[in-house]
Amino acid sequence: MEPVTREELKPARSGGILSERYRLFLYALPFLVLVFLFSYLPLYGWIYSLYNYRPGFKLSDTPFVGLQWFRSIFANPTQTAEVGRVMKNTIAMSSLGILTSVLPVAFAILLSEIKAMRFKKTVQILTTLPNFISWVLVYAIAFALFNVDNGLINKIMIGLGLQERGINYLATDNHTWLSMILWNTWKGLGWGAIMYIAAITSIDQELYDAAKVDGAGRFRMIWNITIPGIMPTYFVLLMLQIANFINNGMEQYFVFQNPINKDHIEVLDLYVYNAGMLGTNFSFATAVSMLKSLISIGLLLFANKLSKWVRGESII
- CA 114 to CA 224: how far, in whole Å? 18
The DSSP result for 234-286, as a single string, is HHHHHHHHHHTTT---SHHHHHH--TTTHHHH--HHHHHHIIIIITT-HHHHH
- CA 171 to CA 174: how far, in whole Å? 9
Phi and psi, residue 125, nearest 5°: -65, -45
Sign of CA dihedral 254, 256, 259, 264: negative
Q: How many residues make up the chain in this entry?
A: 316
Nearer to another protein, 78 or 201 (CB): 78
- CA 208 to CA 221: how far, in whole Å? 7
Least separation in angstroms between residue 80's CB and another protein is: 10
What residues does 64 pair with on adjacent strands? 51
Nearer to another protein, 63 or 312 (CB): 63
Nearer to another protein, 64 or 223 (CB): 64
Task: Give the list of residues 6+ apart from residue 249 with CB closer than 8 angstroms, or none.
Answer: 269
Nearer to another protein, 56 or 215 (CB): 56
Least separation in angstroms between residue 67's CB and another protein is: 14
Binding region for another protein (CB under 8 A): 52, 54-57, 63, 72, 76-79, 81-82, 143, 147-149, 165-168, 170-171, 258-260, 262-263, 274-275, 277-282, 284
Nearer to another protein, 22 or 64 (CB): 64
Least separation in angstroms between residue 284's CB and another protein is: 6
- CA 220 to CA 218: how far, in whole Å? 5
Nearer to another protein, 187 or 264 (CB): 264
Q: Is 51 in a helix, a strand, or coil?
A: strand
Least separation in angstroms between residue 262's CB and another protein is: 5
Least separation in angstroms between residue 260's CB and another protein is: 6
Least separation in angstroms between residue 234's CB and another protein is: 38
